[in-house]
Amino acid sequence: MGNQKLKWTAEEEEALLAGVTKHGPGKWKNILRDPDFADQLSNRSNIDLKDKWRNLSVAPDIQGSKDKIRTPKIKAAAFQLAARAIITPTPSANTSLVDPLPRTRSSDLSIDDSCNIVVDAKNAPRYDGMIFEALSALPDANGSDVNAIFNFIQQKRHEVPPNFKRILGSRLRRLAAQGKLEKTQNFYKMNDHSLVIRTPLVARPKEINVKPRQTNSPRPAVSQERVCDASKSAAFKLVEVDMKLDAVEVAMEDTERMIKLAEEAEFILLLAKELHEKCSQGMLVEIN
């Protein structure tokens, strides 16, 4: 009777998180069966997984444990967000997208719009078009700043989400990082790489179907339309993958930004505590 009260290792937690993102919460026996996680969780039962998940979902991280690791919490959430962006091929008839998404509710630093990634994913590539349109139309030869681009796009009567300005911001930064835009001190302008093949066929996969003309042709042979269909859907899937990768990158970007904010906030909180302690001890604190 030895191993009761076994502490969860980081590896086990990771495996659990990965398992949940893959199979969904509640599919514990499945996660346990999955050869990908079977080894690391060999000492855990499906019920253990359930309990652990429940704990991870609640604990808003208390500082009691020598402020071990709270970032993993955020990273885990980020991982889930990214995974969610990927695992959303068929908007219907797929996994139950009701993941509780364990997140702190109390000291929550507002992860706000990060749940609209799927939407962003669909729009991000289009924004690129608008951005390039704006940059090529705007006069400033030295480049334009975010506001100029933002205003131009709005005047174009392009419908954009409320948080568009921020999306635009991260979008610009990313394009600059990819070398598709030149950035100098918050001013962006196009360069040679801006016009390279960026998803050439964004053509809508609507109705281009070539239906078989009646049943007159007894032997349509190997049917060219099949081939056509295949390449068409292949192209579509490529675009799809492209968009999803994009979504993940954006998600990571936003997440890193959030983590930074969280850390800064925490630092300030520490300062505040320190000040409070000193003040309550009757000390005179001067703030420069």
Residues that bind DNA (CB under 7 A): 3-6, 8, 25-30, 44, 46-48, 50-51
Q: Which is nearer to DNA, 103 or 189 (CB)?
A: 103
Cβ atoms 19, 31 nearer than 8 A: yes
Q: How far is the CB of 67 from DNA (least distance, A)?
A: 23
Q: Provide, rounded to whole angstroms, the least separation between the CB of residue 90 and DNA.
A: 23
Closest separation between CB of residue 45 and DNA, Å? 7
CA distance 108 to 280: 27
Residue 58 phi, psi dihedral angles, 5° rounding? -95, -65
Within its chain, how far is the Cα of 125 from the centroid? 15
First-to-last alpha carbon distance for the chain, in angstroms, is 61
The least CB distance from residue 41 to DNA, in Å, is 11
CB closer to DNA, 25 vs 143: 25
Give whichever of 43 and 63 is closer to DNA, judged by the CB atom. 43
Please, what is the angle between helix 117-137 and helix 146-155, to 10°?
A: 90
Nearer to DNA, 96 or 142 (CB): 96
3-state secondary structure of 186: coil
Q: Output the smallest distance, CB 2 to DNA, in A.
A: 11
For DNA, give the closer residue by CB, 10 or 285.
10
**Integer angstrom CA distances of residue 123 from 113, 159, 178:** 15, 11, 18
* Gap between the Cα atoms of 17 and 200, Å rounded: 37
Tokens coding 280:
């309550």
